[in-house]
Structure 1
Amino acid sequence: MQEWISDASSSAGAGERHAPGAEHEEPMREGAAIAGLRAGILRFLQRGPATAHGRRLLRQLVTIILLLPAAWLVWQWTHALLGLPHALGPNPPEWTHRFTGRLAVELLLATLATSSLARLLGWRSLLLLRRRLGLISALYMTLHVANYLFLDRALAWEEIAGDLTKRPYIILGATAFLATWPLVLTSTDSAIRRLGGARWRRLHRLVYLVLAAAIAHSLWQMKAVEPRPVIFAVIAAGLFAERVRTFRRRRPRRSPVG
């Protein structure tokens, strides 16, 4: 009896050591886990959170993340005003001006990219974030303009008027800023209902004017070729091209006469 048990155990152990395909089970499980993760991410990008509570949490999380640069900026200015070490450089207003302008353009590009990615790749969940991206882009644009008016020029209107003649790119920046506000003020659900879907969509095509003016504002003030504004311009051109292509596809074709 003891001998039978011993033989059975040894043969079982040998079977475990030499079972065909056993050495491939672990990589297969890892591959299945990675495939499942990819499928889950793709499903999330296509559909977003399954519940209204999940969608609300996603918007809140993204809002907090997008406001972190503003919180960091306030922290750095607090240090600068108290005479403590800070990261704003020797000219804090100029540094702040560039920082807020760059963030405004980046988020504006991201706002338009959500629609393009949703159309091209089916990532519909990105549309949940479009309004937040647009509003926070407008926030950074407002900080950009306020920095120029209050910190850089201290509301010296003669200097500001002189800037408008000497630096025409400021007019483009002002155009982008002013054209943003009709979009901000009509970004609520009640405004959409009040205007009607078709009129609201026509009004919000102003976003293309805002982006074009903001990109031109960035490019015009370059004293030498800088990669970031050029990259922004290339991305914007791609987004414009995709939108024109989509518009042409949706436009009803005229039937041939006769």
Structure 2
Amino acid sequence: MDGLAASPQGEAAPPAGERDLVEAGRLLFARECVFVAGAPDVSALPPLGLPEIAFAGRSNVGKSSLVNALTGRKTLARVSHTPGRTQQLNFFDLGGHLGIVDMPGYGYAAVSKAKIADWTALVEQYLRGRTTLQRIFLLVDGRHGLKEVDREQMTDFDRAAASYQVVLTKADELKAAERASRVADTQAALLKHPAAFPHVILTSSQTGAGVLDLRESVARLLAERGALPLKI
């Protein structure tokens, strides 16, 4: 695995089952991924179907860049330097086996209160009624760790009983000595959140670090729920 949270030097190769999941994740995300629909309100949500994973995070956390790196595309999710660019739930179909949902960024003060209220209501309704949602990957800027706005979002996910996993981004901008402590501090904070998955993944969309770990995490999740389309 390639995560920067990293393991001791000279560590033995992962067991066969782990290697199988790494390969299953690689094959899953090598499939064609296409845009399905954008939902600015709950009436536009596509019908239930494929198992889904969703990506959430503060505005400008690097969400679109990581989704592009995860799927091996350059322009699947539009990358913008303008915070608040994603203004709806964007749905993608990964090879007819998995739905990927790009959620609106939160915490951008320049957006009107009315728009923030609309986004909040949309996300709440999506979480409440989307039985196909398997897990939310909550992206947090690795340079700073959890901010109060991230903790508020985690509390909202807890209340909705929506399973989520924290993914730290922009690891390439962290000093090597800071990486392990950032992961450890984040995992310690998750102990207070009942809906949080305890394993934190440290990633960089620039270097590709952590992308294999993230793919493996998705493959493991689908395998545990009997939804992995690939034989491992």
TM-score range, shorter chain: under 0.3
Instruction: Kindly name which structure, 1 or 2, has the bigger radius of gyration based on alpha carbons.
Output: 1
Greater per-residue helix proportion? 1
TM-score of the two chains, using structure 1 as the length reference: 0.25
